[in-house]
Chains A and B, each alone.
Chain A
């Protein structure tokens, strides 16, 4: 075993424990924290595979953003604690399927790539960047649009539906109201002060949330 392999095994063992605890822990918050361990160990493997940029992305996005997001939603949904409420009745079946998947994958990996070794060559971030922007510009743009769509979608899904509020009134529409509003054929206004002006009481009744539209 090379030194890299020793390091790899150590990292992978910690990661395995973390991953197993994520799916078996009885406390949701602990599960999330174990997820941090597992993801960090994956980042460690990236480092061992000489993909440093990816490792940092992994740490930033997964550990920094996604896990925090998960913790937030745990907080917001007041998830209960305990095996009975966290796991369902088909645990045994699930374990069998999981074990089957593991066995299948492990067998395939050993069967197909038994003696193959990875020669580690450092990859510079500049190369990754060049690859993205030279060969994968189109997917990159598509992914950006996807992220935008997800952003909008998440906001639409998660925001509270407000009670329909009366149409907002401008605070001082005295002069603005009429601009472009009066048709040319309108008779000479007889109630200039009255038509455009809102009742004074309207000024305070702007909807609470959407006061100043951006």
Chain B
């Protein structure tokens, strides 16, 4: 008998958690702003993974559609983020997050 095509939901959630945790670590530990943005992308992907997994579990397409929207928003976010990074680089000759501490004052 052919086994029914199934995947355990926690597997997917674990993978998603790993991506998210890696992203958290990257956001906290990286100095380079572009690397921080990459880490944010990892976290967004973890969210998407969850959305798609639950969409498949519930048989509801809304999750997939929302994942598409998240991808779109991520694209916009990267565009703006990188523009800001380049602007900061142009003004301060560095994109190290901890050297951009105008917030302190």
Contact = CB atoms under 8 A, between A and B. Distances in A.
* Chain A directly contacts chain B within the complex, with at least one CB pair under 8 Å: yes
B20 to A, nearest CB: 6
Interface string A1-22: 0111100110010011001101
State the majority secondary structure of interface residues on A: helix
B43 to A, nearest CB: 10
Contact of B68 (A23, A49, A57): A57
Size category of the binding interface on chain A: 35 or more
A131 B61 CA distance: 7
Contact of A117 (B8, B15, B52): B8
Size category of the binding interface on chain B: 35 or more
A70 B34 contact: yes
Contacts of A192: none
Interface stretch (A27-35, A163-171, A182-190, A203-211): A27-35
Interface of A: 2-5, 8-9, 12, 15-16, 19-20, 22-23, 28, 31-32, 35, 38-39, 42, 45-46, 48-51, 53-54, 57-58, 61-62, 65-66, 69-70, 72-74, 76-77, 79, 85-88, 90-91, 93-95, 97-99, 101-102, 105-106, 109-110, 113-121, 123, 127-128, 131-132, 135-136, 139-140, 143, 146-147, 149-151, 153-155, 157-158, 160
